[in-house]
Homo-oligomer: A and B are copies of this chain.
Amino acid sequence: MTTLKDVARASGVSVMTVSNVINGVPRVGPATRERVLGAIADLGYEVNLTARRLRSGTSGTVALVVPRADHPYFGELADAFTSVLRATGRHLVIEQSGASKEGELTALSQARLQMYDGVLLSAVGLQYADVDRVQADLPLVLLGEKPMPPQFDQIQLGNVEGAQLATAHLLDRGARSVALVGGLTGPTDGGMQDQRTEGWRAAHRAAGRTPDDRLILNPPALEMAASRQTIRDAVSGGLQLDAVFAITDQAAIGVVAGLRDVGLRVPDDVQVVGFDNLAIGAHLWPELTTVDPSNHWLVTEAVRLLERRMAGEHGDAEHLVTPVSLVVRGSTR
């Protein structure tokens, strides 16, 4: 492997001069600069980012920590971040925290995080206290679903508002029994599922109805297969419903399949609304009505906040909530 030293020897200057050429420091004469650039090209030298990181403390890399990569929502998010960050000359890598507690803590450990100039953390399983232990001077923007320590910038989706929009839309289109797939009835942890459940309740209250907790279904996992099974079992078990608000698009896709399994038509017999506005929603049959959480807004703001921290600012942290809107398609009347 060629190092600065090799380049220096080949071009007859000191390593420091080569370093200065590489970093564009303007204390190198034009002739010397050319000679060094020539040697770099000849030897095919490339800077060792590990060494640079150790010495200078910057790597030009930002990490996006997500629970898992096979969820399309995070894929779309990662793609958006990559293009926005590329414009600022930075590089994005994606880390998976996994579903397990250990996995999330590992991803959160100083050791890992120190490898990056900044971190965008979207870990749904972590608690307030876990995040609170993270060294406060790391440029960190939380995309957390639940309230997080005030020392860090945070952007949450408009979960309550979005869920309320979705539910209100269903009630407005004549639904009388709006099941909530992915909702929670038990003790609350303030997470995404809680917030969307709250939105579902709020919409009922605003319409002068009393939410019926028997309509809250919680599949073992927020995936297509589990949601499909859950809705199928519920209907087979005699649950009466004429609409479903599924708290993610993935769950909604499972719900639509499950309803089909038991012979119910969407939207004629049961209307369905999802949440996330995944790209695929527009290509399903029926096309999925969903809540758009303004991913682009989130990405832009998150990068702005992160850049501010990486620039060394130590002002008060901001806690933002994305604006949401409803995308009405064929799965509702």
Seen from chain A, the residues whose Cβ lies within 8 Å of a Cβ on chain B are 1, 46-51, 53-54, 59, 63, 68-72, 74-76, 78-79, 82-83, 86, 91-96, 98, 103, 106, 109-112, 114-115, 135, 224-225, 228, 253-254, 256-257, 260, 279-280, 282-285
- Complex: how many Å from CA A129 to CA B4? 26
Interface centre among A46, A68, A93, A112, by most chain B C-beta atoms within 10 angstroms, is A93
Task: Check if A283 sits within 8 Å of B47, measured CB to CB.
Answer: no
Task: Check if B1 sits within 8 Å of A135, measured CB to CB.
Answer: yes
Task: Check if B46 sits within 8 Å of A110, measured CB to CB.
Answer: yes
Task: Check if B69 sits within 8 Å of A75, measured CB to CB.
Answer: yes
Interface centre among A54, A59, A69, A254, by most chain B C-beta atoms within 10 angstroms, is A69
Chain B residues, Cβ within 8 Å of A279: 70, 224-225
Q: Which of B1, B54, B94 contacts A51 (CB 8 A)?
A: B54
7 residue pairs of the A-B complex, CB under 8 angstroms, read: A49-B115, A50-B54, A69-B82, A72-B72, A86-B103, A224-B280, A256-B285
Chain B residues, Cβ within 8 Å of A46: 109-111
- Complex: how many Å from CA A333 to CA B262? 22
Q: Which of B71, B98, B253, B284 contacts A86 (CB 8 A)?
A: B98
Chain B residues, Cβ within 8 Å of A112: 49, 91
Expressed in whole angstroms, the minimum distance between the Cβ of A77 and any Cβ of chain B is: 8
Chain B residues, Cβ within 8 Å of A228: 283
Expressed in whole angstroms, the minimum distance between the Cβ of A57 and any Cβ of chain B is: 9
Known contacts A46-B109, A69-B94, A95-B93: A224-B86 contact under CB 8 Å: no
Q: Which of B95, B114, B253 contacts A49 (CB 8 A)?
A: B114
New A-B contacts (9) at CB < 8 Å, excluding given A93-B94, A225-B279, A225-B282: A48-B111, A49-B112, A68-B79, A69-B75, A69-B78, A74-B75, A91-B106, A224-B282, A257-B284
Across chains A and B, which 10 residue pairs bring their CB atoms closest together, nearest first?
A: A69-B78, A94-B94, A70-B75, A70-B79, A46-B110, A257-B283, A46-B111, A69-B75, A93-B93, A224-B283
Chain B residues, Cβ within 8 Å of A111: 46-49
Task: Check if A78 sits within 8 Å of B86, measured CB to CB.
Answer: no
Expressed in whole angstroms, the minimum distance between the Cβ of A312 and any Cβ of chain B is: 16
- Complex: how many Å from CA A254 to CA B103? 36
Task: Check if A50 sits within 8 Å of B48, measured CB to CB.
Answer: no
Chain B residues, Cβ within 8 Å of A83: 98
- Complex: how many Å from CA A76 to CA B68? 9
Task: Check if A253 sits within 8 Å of B224, measured CB to CB.
Answer: no
Task: Check if B50 sits within 8 Å of A115, measured CB to CB.
Answer: yes
Q: Give A255's nearest chain B residue, CB to CB.
A: B283
Q: Give A260's nearest chain B residue, CB to CB.
A: B285
Expressed in whole angstroms, the minimum distance between the Cβ of A14 and any Cβ of chain B is: 21
- Complex: how many Å from CA A130 to CA B257? 45
- Complex: how many Å from CA A254 to CA B282? 10
Expressed in whole angstroms, the minimum distance between the Cβ of A115 and any Cβ of chain B is: 6
- Complex: how many Å from CA A91 to CA B63? 14
- Complex: how many Å from CA A284 to CA B75? 20
